[in-house]
Amino acid sequence: MHYYRWKIATLLFMVLAFVSSTVSAQDKLLFSGFAFSGNYENRKELYPYSSQIELLKSENGQPLLNKVFYEKIRNRPSEDARLTTELGRIGQGNQITVAFALTYEKVEYMELDGHLLLFIGINANVLAFDRTSKQLIAAYPLRIRYHDSVNHRLSDAEIVTLYRKLYLTNELGINPFDEWLNKFAQIAFKGRHTKYLQVKDIDIEPEALKFITANNQSPKALKNLIANELESSIASTNNIPIIPWSPGEVVGRVMALRFCDGNTFNLNLPNPDYEVDFSLRAFRGTEVEGAYAKQKIFRTLGTIKIYQPDIKKYHLNENIYNTQIVTLAKAYDARVEDWEQYKKTLNELLYDTSKQFSNVNSGWIKEHASRGADAIDTFRDASKIIDQLK
């Protein structure tokens, strides 16, 4: 009698264990690997270097980017336990899918004190969407930056070699997939966020546009840079998801994705509850000569806004600015490239402004908002908006 009770109990335990493991597996997030955001037809224009790395295959024909990514996941037990690559289970269990979604890449140079510096940048999203409805759930931007001193401007082939090392190794001291996993480890995905925010409009006003043109810069490229830096700054400093900004790539609230394995998705984007707009008003600067050194002063002026479209109300609308002073010793014939310094002041302005949305620093606002202390209350109102998105 006891034998049969034990046998039944053992069988029941095995059934429960099987059900438990099945439920656990179905609760895992689906993992889709590496994807390009935007129209895949334009990938060579949008991502000239990453698109060449995408073509690399492993020995068994698997896309090399995905192979390296999967290996990194397997070496991270905590993250591996949250993910599954069983993508055939449409309609079964959890359909929340996550991916590495590339949004931006850049290569730039800067001359500083007689040295030529190379900067490589990648912006991407930890992207989550419902695979059944193809509805975006959340996007958490991340930025990967690498720089080095070089003897000459590199050829395209040399740049591709650097990008290959960046994606496929840790030789450069940073890896995009490691950074994605670090961000992923901090995120607890919800089935659906109740409030959404998006960087909506980037405007370049006439004074700034004249300066940009005089410096042989592309207004379109600068708008892309501002949007990517602003949404990354807002998301990272406030730990919130954001609807990706992708002008020219988003049509009718649909964002295109193309994965390394050939799968394509057109994701439906939710309408933003709040919109962030930024206007670049001007770049201004001057020089102050001294006996042994000169100071170069760089200033960037902009306007930051947070708008709620359903009630047509601005919760924030402030003119802001940032100033950088660079001291150059005459004895060493020290020089800097002005345009790069203006971009630096711009990026600092976007990042430091974003920080105010969660931790209002009255001292910073007094120094960087045109209305000074009178702007503190509007930034506090903005922080209440951001709190709703967490």
Rounded CA gap, 60 and 380, in Å? 55
Q: How far apart are CA 12 and CA 4, in angstroms?
A: 12
* Token pair of 272 as six digits: 């933003």
In the DSSP assignment, the letter for residue 261 is T
Sheet of strand 197-204: strand arrangement: 197-204, 274-289, 293-308, 313-329
Kind of pairing between the strands at 274-289 and 197-204? parallel
CA 336/CA 219 separation, integer angstroms: 22
For tokens 């990042």, name the residue.
351
Q: What is the pLDDT along the chain (390 residues), one digit of tens a residue?
A: 444 444 444 433 333 333 333 334 446 888 999 999 887 777 788 899 999 998 888 888 888 999 999 999 999 999 999 998 765 444 455 688 999 999 889 898 877 767 888 999 999 999 999 888 888 988 999 999 999 999 999 999 999 999 999 999 999 999 999 999 999 999 887 666 678 999 999 999 999 999 999 999 999 889 988 998 999 999 999 989 999 876 544 445 788 888 888 888 888 888 999 999 999 999 999 988 877 778 899 999 999 999 999 999 999 999 999 999 988 777 666 667 889 899 999 999 999 999 999 899 999 999 999 999 999 999 999 999 999 888
Rg of the chain over CA atoms, in angstroms?
A: 24
For residue 350, what is the enclosing H or E element?
Answer: helix 338-355
Structure tokens at 208: 């700034």
Answer for the pair 265, 129: CB distance below 8 angstroms, yes or no. yes
Measured distance CA(300)–CA(352) in Å, rounded: 13
Token pair belonging to 71: 């290996």
Residue with tokens 């264990």: 17
Q: Residue 262 — left, alpha, or beta (φ > 0 → left; ψ -120 to 50 → alpha)?
A: left
3-state secondary structure of 125: strand
Report how far Cα 93 is from the mean position of its chain's Cα atoms: 29
Q: Which of 227, 233, 183, 199 is nearest to 355 (CA)?
A: 233
Domains of the chain: 31-192+244-268 (no CATH), 197-240+273-390 (3.30.160)
- Residues 75, 138, 222, CA angle at the centre, nearest 5°? 100
**Start-end of H helices in 189-248:** 206-214, 219-238
Give Cα 97 distance to the centre of its chain: 18
